[in-house]
């Protein structure tokens, strides 16, 4: 019995070691995997420690789960119910009106990105806002979603959210 347990452990160890050769490249680093946008938590185009930190910060939090498969079909994201396109976002409060009525604001998914210039790279730097000192708010966040509009707040000292793109999906 003892010999069979040791033999089984040796086989498991051998499989683990051999399997690691397929994951590790010649420089001793993990071989890169195919990019998965659902894993890129901060949507910066790179899956890295910042994504892990974002998850760790929210570890243990609870809320209403979303079925992401409703938005992704055959590897492509379904068309949003509303898409603002890239629009100018002033510091302070901005109201963006829809051209139709949102059925249920409480069951909608809002996705927002920013750019600092029309040719800038999309980002979510300080998404949700960062108020570390009174009067020095940076970043942007959406605050109120109604049947006919969404309100976006941009910090008074922010220089990264000159343009926003807001996409909304109605979840049934």
pLDDT by 10s per residue, the chain, length 172: 667 767 677 676 666 665 655 555 555 566 667 777 777 777 777 888 888 888 888 788 887 666 555 555 545 567 889 999 999 999 999 999 999 999 999 988 899 999 999 888 899 888 887 766 566 688 999 999 999 999 999 998 899 999 999 999 887 6
Residue of 90, 168, 161, 82 lying closest to 123 (CA atoms) = 161
Spatial separation of the C-alpha atoms in residues 54 and 127, rounded to whole Å:
12
Spatial separation of the C-alpha atoms in residues 126 and 89, rounded to whole Å:
15
Domain spans, the chain: 65-170
| Count, residues in the chain | 172
């Amino acid at each position: 019995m003892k010999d069979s347990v040791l033999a089984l452990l040796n086989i498991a160890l051998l499989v683990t070691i051999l399997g690691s050769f397929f994951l590790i490249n010649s420089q001793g680093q993990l071989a890169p995997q195919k990019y998965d946008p659902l894993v890129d938590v901060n949507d910066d185009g790179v899956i890295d420690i910042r994504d892990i930190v974002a998850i760790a910060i929210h570890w243990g939090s609870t809320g209403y789960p979303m079925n992401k498969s409703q938005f992704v079909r055959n590897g492509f994201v379904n068309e949003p119910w509303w898409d603002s396109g890239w629009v100018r976002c002033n510091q302070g409060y901005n109201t963006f009106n829809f051209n139709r009525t949102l059925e249920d604001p409480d069951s909608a998914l809002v996705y927002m990105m920013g750019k600092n210039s029309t040719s800038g790279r999309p980002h979510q730097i300080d998404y949700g806002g960062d108020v570390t000192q009174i009067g020095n708010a940076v970043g942007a966040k959406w605050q109120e979603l109604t049947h006919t509009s969404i309100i976006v707040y941009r910090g008074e000292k922010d220089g990264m959210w000159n343009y926003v793109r807001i996409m909304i999906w109605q979840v049934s």
